[in-house]
Amino acid sequence: MRHYLDLADWRSEEIRELLNLAQFLRLEFKSGGNKPVLRGKTLAMIFQKPSLRTKVSFETGMNQLGGAALMLGPDEIGLGKRESIGDVARSLSRFVQGIMARVFAHETVLELGRYATCPVINGLTDSQHPCQALADVLTIIDHLGRVEGRRVAFVGDGNNVAFSLAQAVAHAGGHFAIASPPGYGLPEEDIDSIALIARANGSTFETFHDPVQAVREADVVYTDTWISMGQEASAQQRIADFQPYQVNANLMKYASRRAIVMHCLPAHRGQEVTDEVLDGPYSVVFDQAENRLHAQKAILVKLMA
Ligand code: CP
Ligand code: NVA
């Protein structure tokens, strides 16, 4: 049973195939509609956390492919509370042909994957966001032609989005640099995972504390919230610690002249990014949002068709 839980489980060649499939499905959709290759199939969507893009893109994606999606919010199934994660996975597998889950602990999607007899897709955990990363790489290709050899700078928290993005960029042969405040960098095990993929693809991976060093000559400047879902209790401390890491017009001066700005959204305007940058000519954030749909349709077709 194949799952989409961690980009380390996928070969670089397979990621390239997913990206090609996403481009094909996007073209097919925009030239009259997709073939209903998922007709009669249902995706269960488990959410322990809020979502706009993930929920809407998975649901519309399933509809466009002839299938259906079922929303299971935090209060509905009580994952691991009303019932064990394993029993939820085994029961759901008797009704649906795929499970997408947005949860807190990464271990929860691993456990769903261990028990499910249908594919499980990671729709974000505390440590990874691989659907976002696939859409992001697709967006970089759309705007810069290729990821190979491009310099991607992530400014901010060494979080779920940063980790999966670094893995995806490494798979695609790009160079990744991250600047985070001391104490907020990527965990050691994430760095090992990224380094392993990078070595196989001639990619480089660097970590900094100084945002200017990461952003210098970058082709892509990426940021995300300073306070991820579940970290609300430490919000005040984080806002103070991350002040020097705002992506603003001054920081953008150090990037390549044609650099694009990326953000997975939701954005906290005036915190990690200014309005001027987010709404500026180099911002591609809504293309990223749209590409969630196309990238995830490729994942759905690959795993469920
Ligand atoms: N980027 C992203 O995953 O958005 P949502 O949290 O709205 O799904
Ligand atoms: N890092 C953010 C991403 C939201 C899509 C979070 O986990 O809340």
pLDDT tier at 301 (50, 70, 90 boundaries)?
very high
- C-alpha pair distances (Å), 305 with each of 44, 70, 302: 15, 18, 6
**CB count, 10 Å around CB of 193?**
20
pLDDT tier at 169 (50, 70, 90 boundaries)?
very high
pLDDT of residue 55: 98
- Percent of the chain topping pLDDT 90: 99
pLDDT of residue 272 exceeding 90: yes
* Closest residue by CA, ligand 2 atom 2: 228
Compute the average pLDDT of residues 258-264.
98
pLDDT of residue 158: 98
* Closest residue by CA, ligand 2 atom 7: 228
H/E segment holding residue 220: strand 220-223
From the CB of 264, is ligand 2 less than 6 Å away?
A: yes
From the CB of 265, is ligand 1 less than 6 Å away?
A: yes
Write the pLDDT tens digit of every residue in 83-95.
999 999 999 999 9
* CA distance linking residue 213 with residue 211, whole number of Å: 5
- Phi/psi at 235 (nearest 5 deg)? -55, -45
pLDDT of residue 1 exceeding 90: no
Tell me how far the alpha carbon of residue 31 lies from the centroid of ligand 2, in angstroms: 33
H/E segment holding residue 212: helix 211-215
Compute the average pLDDT of residues 134-141.
99
From the CB of 51, is ligand 1 less than 6 Å away?
A: yes
From the CB of 198, is ligand 2 less than 6 Å away?
A: no
Compute the average pLDDT of residues 176-193.
98
- Ligand 2 binding pocket mutation candidate from 224, 234, 265, 288 (most atoms within 8 A of CB): 224
pLDDT of residue 217 exceeding 90: yes
The DSSP code sequence of 8-27 is GGS-HHHHHHHHHHHHHHHH
pLDDT of residue 183 exceeding 90: yes
Q: Is there a catalytic annotation at residue 129?
A: yes
Crossing angle (nearest 10°) for helices 188-201 and 160-171: 20
Q: Which amino acid is at 41?
A: K
Compute the average pLDDT of residues 59-76.
96
- Ligand 2 binding pocket mutation candidate from 47, 132, 225 (most atoms within 8 A of CB): 225
pLDDT of residue 75: 87
- Which ligand is located closest to the Cα atom of residue 223? 2
From the CB of 56, is ligand 1 less than 6 Å away?
A: no
Write the pLDDT tens digit of every residue in 112-130.
999 999 999 999 999 999 9
